[in-house]
Amino acid sequence: LNPASAVDARAREAYLARLAPSSRRTMARSLETAARALDYTSADAVPWCALTAGHVAAIRAALAAHQSPASVNRILAAVRGVLRAAWRQGTISADELARACDVPGVTDDRAAAGRVLSRGEILALFDAARSRHPCVSRRDLALLSVLYGGGLRRAEAAALRWIDVDGRRLTVTGKGTRVRAVYLPAAGARYLERWRQISSDGAVFCALSARGKPAQPPAPLSPRGVYAILRRLAELGRVAPLGPHDLRRT
């Protein structure tokens, strides 16, 4: 392969620019992993527009031996994304793109991760949230309401802003910056409104101390923070370990 050029950089940058910020970081790391699988030092050095189906298959084979199927498929998706961006820019042909994208992903024969929560477990999580400091309780009840009542992903909940909230209607920016409307149950909207009486600026969910004081300066919750809160509520409610996506699944 020839050395990477400006057109390769443009294709990679165009692909990443189409993604939401959280996905952008993840897929940028995926491209770095793909580069190493092809024996390049970094994604900057890869001539992406010259990759063929054989190179994509080589990435798949190199990674499948020591990465989970989900990780391999995510990395392959990032590579395909760059190739599609190159096709949009007229750098590769439709035939070349089709052949490269035809390389199959890795099949995961394991049982699907995650679980569906019982009604008793859901009630226990809400009871655990009620047991906390009043300010923390209001935030956690509102958070449970959008994760369970609205089915939001943790990154979507972390990115939610008050300008996205209109009564029971949430305007949610999801994967690939796709925007959708989500309608909360009436009870969930009430929990969210009670939290709004305490925190009504910027991000809907912010970090709080155990005594209900916001961080200084105020800090929006990160997706990792959403996970930590749910893990703490599970501990308090004596609910078996779970993840935020289990509420969405339920």
Residue pLDDT, tens place only, 42-98: 999 999 999 999 999 999 999 998 888 989 999 999 999 999 999 999 999 999 999
Query: What is the pTM for the complete model shown?
Result: 0.59
**Pairing between β-strand 179-183 and β-strand 165-166 as defined by DSSP bridges:** unpaired
Residue 181, SS3 per DSSP: strand
- pLDDT of res. 199: 83
Cβ atoms of residues 160 and 174 within 8 Å: no
165 strand-pairing partners: 170
Indicate the DSSP class of residue 66.
T
For the stretch 105-148, pLDDT in tens is 988 765 456 789 999 999 999 999 999 999 999 999 999 999 99
How many beta carbons lie within 10 A of that of residue 1, not counting itself?
12
For the stretch 152-175, pLDDT in tens is 999 999 999 999 999 999 999 887
Residue partners of 194: CB distance under 8 A and separation at least 6: 138, 141, 142
**Helices H, strands E: what count in the chain?**
11, 3
- pLDDT of res. 4: 82
- Looking at every residue in the chain, the average pLDDT score rounds to 90
